[in-house]
Structure 1
Amino acid sequence: MLDSSTEIAVNRALWTVVNADFTDAGAHEAWAAEEFTWGLFDNPERRIGALGDVAGLDVIELGCGTAYVSARLARLGARPVGVDLTPAQLDTARRCQEEFDLPFPLIEANAEDVPLPDDSFDLAVSEYGASVWCDPERWVPEAARLLRPGGRLVFLTNSVQVTLCVPEEGGHAGDRLLRPQKGSSRLQWPGGGFEFHPSHGEWIRILRDSGFVVEALHELYASDEARTPEYYDIATAGWAGQWPVEDLWTARLAVTRG
């Protein structure tokens, strides 16, 4: 198995290219969104209620990318800190901070090893950041270290179903299983980066081993009015209206450690 440094280098190089081709151009729109939504089909937080009231909370976003999630949290009254390992993504985030006059700290670091003290945050969040691109055996314990006792972890990742149904060469998921669930926890797509897709049982084990109690698993679908996104086209709106395209987990750290 490759070591973590190799995975980091590959993923950083990938997201430097992705930022230049896609995410930099879409960052302004993502930052300008008036409502907090989750995932490819903009499921509204007001309906899901995964975050709860974040006003006054210290929040760390693990794998923040262009930091639009942190921006939305800041507008809700939180004090976010964004962490990402790709300088190009953070450059885009800083430009958006200036455009929207919404400053908060941004740190270049791997979410598996964050240079911040223990017990610094009330909430840790990841939307398609560390939750997909970092080893959960490393980043989930790191999130636990960073959280204060009783702190919460909320993260969004690909659903198990879509991971098993996306063609290896890319494109939309179909209605057939294309790979076994066993052995799919760590994947590298042709020409892509390293992704991590544990099963539900594996996620529960990892969370429990890190001291978390699972609060909820929200399986996200596309609404009847949703349109298929042009970017990150892993599933059509029709597919995501039948099967969950994303898993949104919420967990709470035990009040006492150990």
Structure 2
Amino acid sequence: MLPRDTVAAFFVPVGAVMTKDHVSINREVWDKDAQNWVDLGKRLWSGPPQWGIWGAPETSVTLLPEDMTGLDAVELGCGTGYVSGWMARRGARVTGIDVSSEQLATARQLADAYGAEITFVQGDAEATGFDAGRFDFAISEYGAAIWCRPEVWLREAWRLLRPGGSLVFLGNHPLSIICTPLNGAPCEPVLHRPYRGLWGVDWTEVEIDPSGVTFNLSIADWFALFTEIGFTVTRYQELYAPDEAAETRCWVPSDWAKNYPMEQVWHLSKPV
């Protein structure tokens, strides 16, 4: 689920506790905004896999197994379901879960249009209700990856995976957050926000295009959390804008994103 063009952020001070009901806030945000994502969903369903804000082709970043025949796969925060569709085309038995009923309505319509047999469930990726050890592969692109608390949804993903299973997730790189000016201007090569104690962004406080509550961590804190849960990091990617890009997407100018990573991808495995 790609983030909308958010333009400013408010950070909770280091040591503070996030007490807002982020699940309800984010559900309301996405239910209201769902129609703005229908056309993008249609485009991504219709073509080959491409990832993130700048559409990195699957052929260059390889986030999915080439052959998923016989695998049980889950998309955590599926939005309009195009990633679920890509996995179904590769032979997987796919389940997609999302907090927004409106986004799921689009996902179901598109799955029907493309003849994809996918189970879509409305629910919270932090507490899916699915049986433990049900899936071989889990993935999130701007779904649970940014809209759910890392210390909660990652433990849920661990619970859902069978031994030897894999989790891949893509979201904002922390640099794209700390290089955003306090007034919400586009990213620039200046550090405007603290890196230490980074927990995420409360977009509900902004005056221009207020949104929901998103989460992120410093690189060291991501590693510490993976280790605590038991995941093994098998690969890490930082994604940049392509050389031909010449626009601003999601508050990030292409000139910035050609020199600094806009996004990161974590590839994790659950040991046998």
- Corresponding letter in the other structure for 1:181: Y
Q: Distance in 2 between matches of 1:30 and 1:168?
A: 33
Aligned-partner Cα distance in 2 for 1:168–1:118: 42
What residue number does 1:112 align with?
126
Q: Which sections of structure 1, spanning at least 5 residues, go unmatched?
A: none
CA contact (8 A) 1:113 1:142 kept: yes
Instruction: Return the offset for 1:169.
Output: 4.4
Structure 1 residue corresponding to 2:247, chosen from 217, 228, 234: 228
* Alignment-derived partner of residue 176 in structure 1: 190
Is 1:197 equivalent to 2:212 in the alignment?
Answer: no
* Structure 2 length-normalised TM: 0.87
Question: Aligned with 1:105: secondary structure?
Answer: strand
Could you say which residue in structure 2 is the equivalent of 1:133? 147
Quote the sequence identity (%). 36
More RCO (CA 8 Å, sep 6+): 2
Aligned AA (2:55) = D
* Cα distance, 1:253–1:30 mapped onto 2, change above 3 Å: same
Q: Give me the whole-angstrom Cα distance separating, in 2, the residues matched to 1:80 and 1:227.
A: 36
Q: Distance in 1 between matches of 2:64 and 2:246?
A: 25
CA offset at residue 78 of structure 1? Answer: 1.7
Partner residue, 2:164: 150
Residues 169 and 23 of structure 1: CA distance in aligned 2, closer, same or farther (over 3 Å):
farther
Please tell me the residue identity of whatever aligns with 1:205.
A
Matched, 1:239 2:224: no
> Across the two proteins, how many residue pairs are aligned to each other?
250
Please tell me the residue identity of whatever aligns with 2:270.
Answer: L
| Worse-superposed segment, 237-246 or 145-154 | 237-246
After superposition, the C-alpha distances for 1:167-214 in whole angstroms (9 at most, x for unaligned) are: 344452112111111232132022321110111111111111111100
Question: 2: distance between equivalents of 1:227 and 1:155?
Answer: 26
- For the pair 1:31 / 2:45, whether they are aligned, the reply is yes
Moved over 6 A (4+): none
Aligned to 1:40: 53
Q: TM-score, normalised by structure 1?
A: 0.91
1:15-69 superposed Cα distances (whole Å, 9 cap, x missing partner): 112213x212322112112x21211111122222233334221111001111111
Instruction: Structure 2 unaligned segments of length 5 or more: list them.
Output: 1-16
Distance 1:227 1:98 in 2: 36
Q: Counterpart of 1:11?
A: 26
**TM-fit CA distance, 1:89:** 0.5
What CA RMSD, in Å, does the superposition of the two structures yield over aligned residues? Answer: 1.6
> Residues 41 and 227 of structure 1 are in contact (CA less than 8 Å); yes or no, is this contact kept in structure 2?
no
